Amino acid sequence: MRERHIVGASVPRKEGWDKITGAARYVDDMVLPGMLYGATVRSNIARGKIRKISFDPSIAWDQFVLVTAKDIPGKNCISLILDDQPCLASDSVNHPEEPILLLAHTDRPKLRKAIDAVSIEFEPLPPVYTIEESEQQSTIIWGTDNTFKSYLVEKGDVDAVWKEAAHIVEGEYFTGAQEQLYIENNGIIAAFDPENGVTVWGSLQCPYYVHKALMALCSLPEDKIRVVQMETGGAFGGKEEYPSMIAGHAALLAMKSNRPVKIVYDRMEDMVATTKRHPSRTRHRTAVSKDGKLLGGEIEFTIDGGAYATLSSVVLSRGTIHAGGPYYWPSVRIRTKALATNAPPHGAFRGFGAPQSLFAMERHMDRIAQVVGISPAEIRRRNFLKPGQTTTTEQTIREDIDLDRLLSRALELSLYAAKKTRFAEENKTGMRKKGIGIAAFLHGAGFTGSGERHLNSLVGVEARADGGVRVLVSSAEFGQGTNTVLCQIAAEALALPYESVAIAQPDTTVVPNSGPTVASRTAMIVGKLVQSAAKGIQQTLAKAGLLGDHYTREQFHAACKEYIAARGALKSYARYEAPRDVYWDDDKYRGEAYGAFAWAVYVAQVTVDLTTYAVNVDDVVALQEVGKVLNPVLAEGQITGGVAQAIGFALYEKVVWQNGRMINNQMTNYIMPTSADLPPIRVFFEELGNVHGAHGAKGIGELPMDGPAPAILNAVEDAIGVRFHSIPLLPEDLFAALRPEPLEQDSPSSARGSA
């Protein structure tokens, strides 16, 4: 028997050695014999009808493989939720960069010239670019009302609270689009032969999403589609739904040419054409008592979904459920909607709607504190959710969370009180003003409501004759540590060394559908299933009389060998079973929204330079309760990485739109934080445990995206006393708000920054 626990230990990353030696294989590192390169001809207008496609005769078109919508064997859509997004536009386009035509050739440079030699004539139609234009409905671009989805959450009688309110506090908040900016661009290789069907290898998060999309598009049965995930160089949600589109394109070219086809985007194409975080607008109207208790509120949360429905309904759902923050609302009405615009569809990005609505909530809490006349810490203490109370969806908090204590600890770790006093004194002089801000928040782990029940995930563990154990899941590794923590869980369950457990490369012919690798669900939901499937191996061996309660590694090996010799393969599967006490009403949007929440209080310290108008983050304390930490080094890496992205979301990363198209689609002018930009990110965990997760784990991946932006803007206000309601907050926005005399011409883009 092993003595030390593997779960909870910082064992090295499973695929770490290959990554640090450069041996890890990403899709662009792979070449197949006879392979062609594929490219996409896209729309250069936002909305209109396709009138004519013509081909410049100077190009030898017979050397190219050409695919249009007419070549699609199955349904022309990217099958996901509503199936409204075409794989290739046939008669009309609804956003800039919408794919229309595909080309393939052996020689990559020739493709670029060929793309330029295709001209497409459009009859333009009036486009819609903003949430405001879309909700006016003077131009209808989707359905009957431009609305992909709306939700209404109602708790208590909010209409009755306004009379008794001592204060009514209103606010409007905005967040911008954000590019995931994984360093590895999107890419897929597809191959086809009539006997085996379509195989794709790619950079992706959800093998079975791609599988489903290709079945519909190629009109092939389940067993004629194979999806293999290659090493994936970052994803953050950006490789959740879009890889199905690229896989579809590569598959169509492969089917037409009977040759393997590689489509790897370059950075400009990836940034201009693929998904981003949904821009959002949130309005709060809050009734507050004299002593700062929330009595009730109306929250209106609206997101810009872009041109097709894709995942917007689900992003909206998460944003809706998180809109009330970690607070107790006696009554609340939350109205939310996802609207269509003629921009490329916005999609999954770490946090998935929650960073948007929580940004508003946490800025608004500071505003309420000012109106009531108490401190930002005190307003939160008076309203924190407590065990036994219910959330906005009337989910009862059953875990023993003490947010008051979490806040106190975060304030101590950040030396909040001392700094607050010191900064107030120091800020009286000089041009560099310091401030400190708080954000308290929560993040639900797993799919929302009935989502996990519908996913019905299946996980396998197999043991081989040599005693080696392999985890079989479709959960993808893309940096977050899936391979490592799932192997830790299996090793712990089987009382084997970590080294004895491997994980299969996600390949739909090898691994079952354990659901998509999203929604902070892998450690909690899939981990629990891995634990149970691993236990199944031990039970099978025990039942066969080959293994006792306590065993050595050698005894386990011997037992596996004997079992397999006598009966063949030794595999054990576990399927998700919804906890019995969980109630969720999809129509009323009421009930247990998530199996578990992670809880956090972050404190950010900033310097605002009134000479350069730059905001610098000097320190971040990130304190969270995430259940059992399965691997401390990996967990800390998730938090520091998420905080860094969230600092980018708050202060650096601005997608500049022109007629529905991103025009700064390069790393040179879309700025993410470098190693020189970031403060020390100090990570602290509390571990309460969670009955639903493996060893008490909860979700962790998305949580750190939620808190830093509001904490930073709260700190900026603390430093200079100016309220900003919109992110990203760039130096030009500060300049526009703070300059002594307005310039003659105000640019429309700066007006929003200083609402």
Partner 1 sequence: MNTSPGTGAKCEVLFTVNGEAKKLFVHPMERLLDVLRNDLKLTGAKEGCGEGECGSCSILLDGMLVNSCLVPVAQASGASIVTIEGMSAHALMNPLQEAFLECGGAQCGICTPGMILAAVYLLEKKPEPAPADIREGLAGNLCRCTGYMQIFEAVSKAARRRVTK
Largest CA distance in the chain: 87
Give the nearest distance from C-beta 113 to partner 1 in angstroms: 9
Q: Does 171 interact with partner 1 (rule: CB under 8 A)?
A: no
# residues contacting partner 1 (CB under 8 A) = 63
> Which residue type occupies 426?
E
690: phi then psi, degrees, rounded to nearest 5? -155, 125
Q: Does 19 interact with partner 1 (rule: CB under 8 A)?
A: yes
Give the nearest distance from C-beta 243 to partner 1 in angstroms: 15
Q: Does 653 interact with partner 1 (rule: CB under 8 A)?
A: no
432-445 and 332-339: which strand pairing?
Answer: unpaired
Q: Does 12 interact with partner 1 (rule: CB under 8 A)?
A: yes
* Exposed / middle / buried, residue 115 (Cβ in 10 Å: 0-12, 13-18, 19+): middle
Q: Does 606 interact with partner 1 (rule: CB under 8 A)?
A: no
Stretch that binds partner 1, among 10-18, 123-131, 572-580, 745-753 (CB under 8 A): 10-18
Q: Does 34 interact with partner 1 (rule: CB under 8 A)?
A: no
Site for partner 1 in 63-92 (CB under 8 A): none
635: phi then psi, degrees, rounded to nearest 5? -65, -45
In the numeric block, which tokens belong to residue 470? 């392999």
Q: Does 702 interact with partner 1 (rule: CB under 8 A)?
A: no
Chain centroid, CA 303 distance in Å: 15
Site for partner 1 in 458-487 (CB under 8 A): 478-481
Give the nearest distance from C-beta 424 to partner 1 in angstroms: 29
Q: Does 645 interact with partner 1 (rule: CB under 8 A)?
A: yes
Residues 6 or more apart from 477 whose CB is under 8 A from it? 14, 15, 231, 232, 483, 503
Among 415, 544, 558, 672, binds partner 1 (CB under 8 A): 672
Stretch that binds partner 1, among 192-200, 214-222, 548-556, 669-677 (CB under 8 A): 669-677
Site for partner 1 in 89-108 (CB under 8 A): 107-108
Asked if omega into 207 is within 30° of 0 (cis), the reply is no
With beta carbons less than 8 A apart as the criterion, state whether 436 and 490 touch: no
Among 5, 49, 112, 398, binds partner 1 (CB under 8 A): 112
Q: Does 637 interact with partner 1 (rule: CB under 8 A)?
A: yes
Comparison of 371 and 678: residue with beta carbon closer to partner 1: 678
State whether residue 686 is helix, strand or coil.
strand
Stretch that binds partner 1, among 59-67, 174-182, 332-340, 425-433 (CB under 8 A): 174-182
- DSSP string covering 296-337, please? EEEEEEEEE--SS-TTHHHHHHHHHHHTTTTB--SSEEEEEE
Stretch that binds partner 1, among 88-96, 110-118, 337-345, 352-360 (CB under 8 A): 110-118
Q: Does 234 interact with partner 1 (rule: CB under 8 A)?
A: yes
Distance CA 317, CA 322 (A): 9
Query: Any bridge partners for residue 226, and if so which?
Result: 199
- DSSP string covering 371-390, please? HHTS-HHHHHHTTB--TT-B
Site string for partner 1, 260-289 (x = CB under 8 A): ------xxx---------------------
> Which residue type occupies 354?
A
Stretch that binds partner 1, among 118-126, 376-384, 390-398, 666-674 (CB under 8 A): 666-674
Comparison of 636 and 717: residue with beta carbon closer to partner 1: 636
CA-nearest of 336, 337, 224, 353 to 277 is: 353
Q: Does 678 interact with partner 1 (rule: CB under 8 A)?
A: yes
Q: Does 341 interact with partner 1 (rule: CB under 8 A)?
A: no
Cα angle 177, 178, 179 (rounded to 5 degrees) comes to: 130
Q: Does 453 interact with partner 1 (rule: CB under 8 A)?
A: no
Residues that bind partner 1 (CB under 8 A): 10, 12-13, 15-26, 28-29, 107-112, 180-185, 231-236, 266-268, 478-481, 633-634, 636-637, 639-645, 666-668, 672, 674-676, 678, 680-681
